[in-house]
Chains A and B, each alone.
Chain A
Amino acid sequence: MKRITYPERHGWRDKAREVGFGFHEMYGEPYWLDDVAYTFTLQEIEEQIEAPSQELHEMCMDLVGDIVTSEEALDHLAIPEELRDLVRDSWERGDRHLYGRFDLAYDGQGPVKLLEYNADTPTSVFETAYFQYNWLIDQIAAGVLPQDADQFNSLQESLVEAFGQFSKEPIFHFAAMTDNEEDRGTTVYLMDCAVQAGHRVELLDIGEIGVDALGRFTDLQDRVIDRCFKLYPWEFMLRENFAPYLPRSGRAFVEPAWKAVLSNKGLLPLLWKRYPNHPNLLPAFFTDDPGASSLSSYVQKPLLSREGENVSIFTNGKELASAPGDYGAEGFVIQEYAPLFESEGGFAVLGSWIVGDRACGLGIREDRSRITANLSRFVPHVILD
């Protein structure tokens, strides 16, 4: 793994604008970097990223059944009691899921380490699947990269294939916070993949979903929502005013309710307990576990948190970095600290994608902070031998 500077593509901002990728800049800062890339060898991708990601996903899937049938585990994950049947039933019924993204620490040496599993919300899917791929073919066409340059990226065709597994009969609704450009763009991209798989689709704001007299979710035309992609985390859904309707009608959503147990930092200690000393896992504990005090360099993470909020890093007992935020009420986990790839660009986290239970793509974000947050930048990658 190396970080290499390249000439940026001529007119790449126009290309971004043409496809509606307006959030290549966010919060007044560049988000997409066109003039730099992370390079890997094929062997490095296959052995250090693809195979471990596949194995980690299988380990997670193997654990879900145990978690959803254990009140103790569900307590630890702060899944509300009245909605545990929803979570359990969705797993036992085998409700179909689409995707997940592992955040991995890798500094070019030794095995990757799992930082967390974003198993419920798809941040950076468009950048990874579409814009990054076009960066590769443009740079090959421009002679900047060799003809045989490659990328770990079959993300879009995997998504189309995965959408194709859902019944075409109901309208596939897509719900998001549509006033947020990035959320909306990400959702419309996935909607596009669904169209390519042959679905009839409709976009609506998550706040526009209604409920009919039978407790079924409805769209703006009062049609019953039978299938709904949502870019909205389960931990929010389980705690909102319409949550009482979820047991009746929550089956409609993709990702399914059982993803609430994977997209939760409480997964990390449960994985470590099941697979102690696995080379791709870091020691992790709930805060009430005596093992938590055995770590001298560790990261404290809220069970439920986004954009790195309320994460703190301690090395040798001293705070190295911390991020403010509004999370943490449900409790924390402690995970051993793993250094990230560090360069003049900052600290890089690997986002390794699973679609349809298969590891199929990589997107890398870097941040000036050790805690990857909302000012992180997306950097394309390329496989060169």
Chain B
Amino acid sequence: MRRRLSGRKPPLLSLGTIAISSLALAGCAGEPPGEVLFTSVDQCITAGMDAQVCQAGYQDAMQAHLQSSPKFDGLAACEAEYGVGQCAEQQPVATGVAAASLPRSSRAICCPRRSTISAITIAIATSGLTTALPMGRRRSIAIAPARRLPLAPGQAAMWWPPRVRPCSRSTSIPAPSFARALVAVAASVSAGRQ
């Protein structure tokens, strides 16, 4: 068989985008810590959350998905359960053995694609912090229990309404306030392109 030099599967972006900045999360003074859950980054953003915060939550959820999703020994076995085109191959990691040295069948661990699993739920924790702090200060990240059913395209995802009230008294701003950190850039030159 003719040798192929491309990757075994199309590359995916677990964060969905490379347009993320170093941002901070801050809640509202006097607000009790709360948690909001979404099933997609878009939904999170639509609900008025900061896009970067949504991405960060998604990152955690994606990682949990990769670790916890059902694994199959081969694409066919996965597709038998989830349908054609609904599965992605995932490299085994930290095996200490170069994957290329293994027969294909033993390295083809499949799991359903992230987009087909509603269990990827983004949990954004909020707190009563009043000053801008880095994202890592999120008090907790929770992953909703897995629901092992793929979603059909266009099907509304299951989600939980936010339990967080807006800090502003204005009813025209229904979202919690997430402040952008002021990023001090000390150096003045770009590392540039090489």
Chain A residues proximal to chain B, CB less than 8 Å: 18-22, 42, 45-46, 50, 118, 121, 123-124, 126, 129-130, 133-134, 136-137, 148, 150-157, 160-161, 164-165, 168, 176-186, 188-189, 191-192, 195-198, 200-208, 219-221, 223, 231-233, 236, 306-307, 374, 383, 385
Contacts and interface: CB of A to CB of B under 8 A. Distances in A.
B99 A178 contact: no
Contact of B194 (A46, A123, A150, A185): A123
B80 interface: no
Return the 9 tightest CB-CB contacts between A and B, nearest first: A20-B19, A207-B186, A164-B93, A20-B17, A156-B11, A20-B18, A185-B18, A154-B7, A123-B193
6 contacts: A153-B6, A157-B9, A177-B190, A183-B190, A207-B187, A221-B134
B191 A231 contact: yes
Contacts of B62: 195
B130 interface: no
A195 B55 CA distance: 12
Interface in B50-68: 59, 62-63, 66-67
B139 interface: no
Given A202-B135, A221-B137, A178 B7 contact: no
A118 B190 contact: no
Contact of A204 (B16, B18, B22, B94): B22
Contacts, number: 170
Contact of B59 (A189, A195, A223): A195
A376 B185 CA distance: 27
A203 B63 CA distance: 16
Contacts of A50: 5
A154 B6 contact: yes
A21 to B, nearest CB: 7
Interface in B173-194: 183-187, 189-194
Given A182-B193, A202-B136, 13 more contacts: A19-B13, A19-B17, A121-B194, A152-B5, A153-B6, A161-B93, A177-B189, A180-B191, A183-B190, A184-B20, A185-B18, A195-B62, A232-B191
Nearest to B11: A156
Instruction: Identify the interface centre among A22, A137, A164: most chain B CB within 10 Å of its CB.
Output: A164
A165 B97 CA distance: 10
Contact of B6 (A19, A152, A221, A232): A152
A177 B185 contact: yes
B18 A21 contact: yes
A380 to B, nearest CB: 12
Q: Is the interface of B mostly helix, strand, loop or mixed?
A: loop
Contact of B5 (A154, A157, A374): A154
B2 interface: yes
B6 to A, nearest CB: 5
Instruction: Identify the interface centre among B62, B134, B192: most chain A CB within 10 Å of its CB.
Output: B192
B148 interface: no
A306 B183 CA distance: 26
Contacts of A185: 18-19
B43 interface: no
Nearest to B59: A195
Nearest to A184: B21
Given A137-B10, A177-B187, A221-B136, A306 B194 contact: yes
Interface in B105-121: none
B91 A157 contact: yes
B63 A195 contact: yes
A160 B22 contact: no
Given A202-B135, A202-B136, A192 B18 contact: yes
A196 B66 contact: yes
A82 B56 CA distance: 39
A18 B51 CA distance: 13
A165 B194 CA distance: 26
B91 A160 contact: yes
A202 B56 CA distance: 9
Contacts of A46: 3, 5
B151 interface: no
B114 to A, nearest CB: 11
A183 B4 CA distance: 31
Instruction: Identify the interface centre among B14, B137, B184: most chain A CB within 10 Å of its CB.
Output: B14
Interface in B12-59: 12-22, 59
A155 B7 contact: yes
Given A164-B93, A177-B191, A198-B93, A133 B7 contact: yes
